[in-house]
Amino acid sequence: MAELADAVIRIEHLFKEYATDAGPVPVLKDVSVSVASGEFVAVMGPSGSGKSTFMNILGCLDVATTGRYLLDGKDAGTLDGDELARLRNQVIGFVFQGFNLLPRATLEDNVALPLIYRGTPRGERLARAHEMLDKVGLGAYYRSRPNQISGGQQQRVAIARALVTRPRLILADEPTGNLDTATGREIMALFTELNRQDGITIVLVTHEPDIAGHAQRLVRLADGRVIYDGLVEHAQAHHLEKTL
């Protein structure tokens, strides 16, 4: 699908097994996907199909058992812990289902946190955090704490935190999973804007077709395999095909 030369993500024949007491459990079985710069990809699939496992490998939080993963042209399999940390800090922005904010830190400190790990001075850190909080519509909440705002607002803070390092790629694992439909739609509007206006590549996991409808492209996983990879508009027919 993606133009190979311009691929932010290139995955070839990826396998992932988890070691359990009952022996190795294969979760991803020969997954090959490429994502070009500027794409907005939705990942769908039944529960347990390996979506989160896939995202964690994309995010360099976990490593594949076999297969090649090139992120921004670099082979993640050959990088050490510090280099992976640098990629997570500079290339990727994460948004989680559970928000994952630091509960004791203020919103501005939460958003500024990634910048600490690249040695940005405090003044600049805060200035950029404020800029991002303004962007997600939380300009009035710099010094609030996560427990003082709503879930939708917390997810906006998480998005601001993901954006503060100006990443090329945002990975979001069920970002609207904990939110009601209306709030979910607002968050999706934000993602769409980031993709369209700022050209940020987005890979987003969701269960809801409605949410996936914001993306251009859909990757559907089932039992660790890619069973569909194409435009979202065509997927409806594909889905229909499957249920028939």
Partner 1 sequence: MTAAMLAEAWLAMGANRLRTLLTMLGMVIGVGAVILMLAIGQGTQRQVEASIASMGSNLFIVLSGSTTSGGLRMGSGATPTLTLTDAQAIEELPAVAAVAPSSPGTAQLVYGSNNWSTQVYGTTPAYLAVRDWKLAAGFPFTDSDLRSATRVALLGKTVVDNLFGGEDPVGKTIRIKNSPYVVLGTLAPKGQSLDGRDQDDTVIIPVTTAQRKLFGTQFAGTVRFIMVQAESGEAMPAVEKSMNELLRQRHRIREGTDNDFSVRNLTALANTAAETAQVMSLMLGAIASISLLVGGIGIMNIMLVSVTERTREIGIRMAIGARGEDILLQFLLEAIIISVIGCLIGVGLGVGGALLVSTLSGMAVVITVTSILLAFAVAAAIGIFFGWYPARKAAAMKPIDALRYQ
Ligand X SMILES: Nc1ncnc2c1ncn2[C@@H]1O[C@H](COP(=O)(O)OP(=O)(O)OP(=O)(O)O)[C@@H](O)[C@H]1O
Interface ranges with partner 1 (CB under 8 A): 56, 59-62, 81-82, 85-86, 88-90, 94, 100-102, 104-105, 113-114, 116-119, 122, 125, 161, 165
User: Residue 126 carries which side chain, given as an amino acid letter?
Assistant: L
Stretch that binds ligand X, among 5-13, 42-50, 72-80, 141-149 (CB under 6 A): 42-50
Asked if 130 and 124 touch (Cβ cutoff 8 Å), the reply is: no
The entry of partner 1, Mg ion, ligand X, none near residue 48 (CB within 5 to 8 angstroms by kind) is ligand X
Does position 51 interact with ligand X (CB under 6 A)? The reply is yes
Tell me: does residue 20 bind ligand X (CB under 6 A). Answer: yes
7 binds, among Mg ion, ligand X, partner 1, none (CB under 5 to 8 A by kind): none
Token representation of residue 157: 């803070």
Q: 188 is written with which tokens?
A: 């999706």
Closest distance between partner 1 and the C-beta of residue 20, in Å? 14
Please report how close the Cβ of residue 178 comes to partner 1 at its closest, in angstroms: 16
Q: Where along the sequence are the contacts to ligand X (CB under 6 A)?
A: 18, 20, 25, 27, 45, 47-53
